[in-house]
A and B are shown apart, each in its own frame.
Chain A
Amino acid sequence: GAVVSQHPSWVICKSGTSVKIECRSLDFQATTMFWYRQFPKQSLMLMATSNEGSKATYEQGVEKDKFLINHASLTLSTLTVTSAHPEDSSFYICSVKGLQDSPLHFGNGTRLTVT
């Protein structure tokens, strides 16, 4: 069964509004989660590392004030796209680190379309 649940699977919003995406670890407690972004026909780019109980670590070039990450519990991390614009339209995927030496588990992604 699914190890990581990501919600919603798709969302359409108007320019200027904010959208929250949830990533839940279902089978184990995850101190670390990762948020990736994927443009059409391109690879996944790591946006940020979400750490439970502390601030997220953002990759170079990712605006932390625009992509707010909250990891308030060991099973939930949220990504909020604030004041969304059409260029933010993309496929956002979260991943969860498992136990030592286990691979990352990925959510099914969220397709965001900003009109």
Chain B
Amino acid sequence: AQSVTQPDIHITVSEGASLELRCNYSYGATPYLFWYVQSPGQGLQLLLKYFSGDTLVQGIKGFEAEFKRSQSSFNLRKPSVHWSDAAEYFCAVGAWLGSGDKLTFGTGTRLAVRP
């Protein structure tokens, strides 16, 4: 069974500082990996995804993530955090199985940004 672990429940960084959110996954085959962001009371917005190819993927809002198969990780990074980045971030792993895509989400990391 696939699973996702986000070790950090809550992270606080200063505005302008760099950010790295950790994500480890367990999956039997080549995973499809995603990072989503959720603002309070809102749905999820896709930041970036990895299917195959280049292991360093660029996303929206200046985010990037690196797929490391040897470490089963897909950490999210941003070189300089903005106050508007404060939100909940979810890592997810999925499988493209015909018409069905079941995503398994991590428990999320809540990011607070210190002025």
Contacts and interface: CB of A to CB of B under 8 A. Distances in A.
Please tell me the size bucket of the interface on B: 20 to 34
B46 A103 contact: yes
Classify the secondary structure of A's interface with B: strand
A4 B46 CA distance: 13
A61 B71 CA distance: 32
A32 B99 contact: yes
B41 A109 contact: yes
Interface of B: 34, 36, 41-46, 49, 51, 90, 94, 96, 99-108
20 contacts: A31-B99, A32-B101, A34-B101, A34-B102, A34-B103, A42-B107, A43-B106, A44-B44, A44-B90, A44-B105, A91-B41, A97-B99, A100-B96, A103-B46, A103-B49, A104-B94, A105-B46, A106-B36, A106-B43, A108-B43
Interface of A: 4, 6, 31-32, 34, 42-46, 49, 51, 57, 91, 93, 95, 97, 100-101, 103-109, 111
Given A45-B105, A103-B34, A108-B42, 19 more contacts: A4-B43, A32-B99, A32-B100, A42-B108, A43-B107, A44-B44, A44-B103, A49-B100, A57-B100, A100-B96, A101-B51, A103-B49, A104-B94, A105-B46, A106-B36, A107-B43, A109-B42, A109-B43, A111-B41
